[in-house]
Amino acid sequence: MLDRGSPTSPSKDFMVSRVFDAPRELVWRAFTEPQPMQGWFGPTGTAIIAATMDLRPGGTYHYGMRTPDGGAMWGKFVYREIDAPRQLVWVHSFSDEGGGITRHPLSASWPLEMLTTVTFDEPLDGQTGVTIRWSPINATQAEQKTFDAGHDSMRQGWGGTLDRLASYLATENAVSEH
pLDDT tens-digit readout, 87-138: 999 999 999 999 999 999 989 999 999 999 999 999 788 999 999 999 999 9
In a domain? residue 81: yes
Report in angstroms the alpha-carbon separations of 15 from 2, 102, 135, 154. 29, 24, 9, 9
In a domain? residue 86: yes
Per-residue pLDDT at 6: 40
Per-residue pLDDT at 3: 39
CA of residue 96 relative to chain centroid, distance: 17
Per-residue pLDDT for 165 more than 50? Answer: yes
* Residue 101 CB-half CA count within 13 A: 11
Per-residue pLDDT at 11: 58
Domain span including residue 38: 14-177
For residues 144-163, average pLDDT: 95
Of 13, 63, 21, give the one whose Cα is nearest residue 165: 21
In a domain? residue 9: no
